[in-house]
Amino acid sequence: MKSQATDGPHAPGQAAIKTRRFSISLVWIVPIVAVLVGISLVVHSWLQEGPTITITFKTGSGLVANKTEVKYRNVVIGRVSEVKLSGDQKRVDATIQLDKQAESFTRADSQFWVVRPRIGAGGVSGIDTLLSGDYIGADIGQADARSKHFTGLENPPPITYGEPGKRFMLHTQDLGSLDIGSPVYYRKIPVGQVVAYALDADGKGVNIEIFVHAPNDAYVTENTRFWNASGIDVNVGANGFAVKTESLSALLVGGIAFRAPEYSPNDQVAAEDNAFDLFEDEHTALAPPNGKAQYLSLRFDQALRGLKVDAPVEFLGIEIGRVVAVNLDFDVKNRSFPVNVGIVIYPQRLGKAHLKLLEALKHDPNDEAASVRLIGSFIENGLRAQARNGNLLTGQLYIALDFYPKAEKVAFDPTARPVVIPTIPGSLEQLQEKLENMVNKINQLPIERIAGNLDSNLVELRKGLAQFNAKTLPGVQTTLSDVSKTLQSASSTLAEDSPQREQLSQTLDELGRMSRSLRELSDYMGRHPESLIRGRPDNAPPMDLQGPPRN
């Protein structure tokens, strides 16, 4: 390049000023434009690039770097850029490059899991991955805090995408056949599902979290009762054989049902995360409140085969409790094995009778000493416990509390805890004892001697009857025949219309009937000699219908 100063004549005393002119070749324009475009692309990519997060999984199954996608509502929001073992080599760290629009997924409570084909209580999921391959599912969180490190879920969460509804916590003794995804029913219609479960802090129970979809969550009120609707509820009672189940799904994978009692005045909609008890069945759930429990002890000196834990305890036919323990004991003094039975009763189940009892006696149910004195007065008036047969088919027993005024008096110990209720033998044992006494008396009878004497008497009787038939009866019949002939001769000498002849004819008829009766009697006694001892049976046919007499 060349430059030349041509600004006209110079003034005297001034130095000449030189200027340069630059010229750019067209060859450099294309590279410069390419550089500028590249810089703009880099800046645009940098501005559009989302955050980078790390998700930790137990295994790397289904994760492939630069291939596995991250999806939300089936829309791609990121991609796996690297998969490597964690520092302790016990887990797998997947580095995820999120899109700029997915920056909100860095909230601390966001959830991530691997979507693959699964079969669970909630049904079959992830079938589409059989063709497209596994991918990482995501659900945005609600927390304000941000994080770059997350722990992936092993199973997909049952509730995602901020679905409207409410969560509730249920408490029960054991999980049973319930699992994540098990349905929740209201009047046999599925309205929710189980979303989580965990043991209590002390390990003595299970907390189950359920989710009820809107608008059905409004049916969960403060007085709502939940019960386990899993499997089949079989009941054999006075009304016959009954089988209940919510649905085929509940039969296979378990389920929970809920409903408020029919009479629930001033009931309010339950708040989210409200806690409820999970009952074993519908009957227990909808029963009146149990109230304060009272534990009692029973001691039986008899075998109690058929008495099981949870067997009912009844008071005057009303179920007020259940059996909680059945233990075998040893009595050193009597060298016997009594059975100790622990029961729990709920006096409030007596309803109006309980209320009137409290009012009449001015009794405070929270006063333990007063309750013990009240039980002592009942025992003094004949309150006893008895094991009774509740089902003849299965042989199951139950405990009955009833009053027996004639029962033997026993000493009551008001200091014993739990309070001991005296017992009496069961009705079956009493009947068995009576039968044994009857059999013993029969065994003491000289049966063989009586039978021998009876046989000899029957032999003598047969001989006497044979002699009667052979000698006495023919003579009597001959005499009757002679008398009949004499009377017939006398009748021929009398006039036909005379009263004496008519009387004589009646006498002849009577003699004929007497003769036939003697023959029939002789024949019957020959065939049934024992009738002289036992008498003629009630169902024996008339002698004239038993066939002609034997000669």
Give the per-residue pLDDT at 217.
Answer: 93
Domain that holds residue 354: 294-437
**In this structure, is residue 17 part of a structural domain?**
no
Give the per-residue pLDDT at 550.
Answer: 47
Give the per-residue pLDDT at 84.
Answer: 93
Give the per-residue pLDDT at 96.
Answer: 93
Same domain, 111 and 80: yes
- In angstroms, the Cα distances linking 303 to 36, 327, 336 are 100, 11, 11
Indicate the residue among 151, 183, 205 that finishes a domain. 151
- Mean pLDDT, the chain cut into blocks of 10 residues (551 residues total): 47 55 66 79 71 92 90 91 91 92 90 82 62 86 91 84 88 88 90 91 91 94 90 51 53 79 84 92 81 89 87 89 92 90 89 79 77 87 89 82 89 89 76 68 73 72 68 66 67 59 68 72 68 61 50 44
**SS3 label, residue 61:** coil
Structure pTM? 0.54
**In this structure, is residue 122 part of a structural domain?**
yes
Beta bridge mates, 488: none
Same domain, 411 and 472: no
Same domain, 300 and 280: no
| Cβ within 8 Å of residue 469, ≥6 positions away | 522, 526
DSSP single-letter state for residue 333 = T
CB 537 within 8 A of CB 530: no
Domain count, the chain: 4
Give the per-residue pLDDT at 534.
Answer: 60
Give the per-residue pLDDT at 87.
Answer: 87
Same domain, 253 and 130: no
Give the per-residue pLDDT at 234.
Answer: 57
Same domain, 81 and 207: no
**In this structure, is residue 10 part of a structural domain?**
no
How far is the C-alpha of 175 from the C-alpha of 229, rounded, in Å?
12
Give the per-residue pLDDT at 3.
Answer: 45
Same domain, 431 and 455: no
Q: How far is CA 106 from the centre of its chain?
A: 46
Indicate the residue among 255, 286, 317 that finishes a domain. 286
How far is the C-alpha of 522 from the C-alpha of 30, rounded, in Å?
151
Indicate the residue among 405, 437, 469 that finishes a domain. 437
CB 312 within 8 A of CB 344: no
DSSP single-letter state for residue 92 = E
**In this structure, is residue 95 part of a structural domain?**
yes
| Cβ within 8 Å of residue 512, ≥6 positions away | 484
**SS3 label, residue 159:** coil
**In this structure, is residue 225 part of a structural domain?**
yes
| Cβ within 8 Å of residue 3, ≥6 positions away | 18, 19, 20, 21
Same domain, 433 and 357: yes
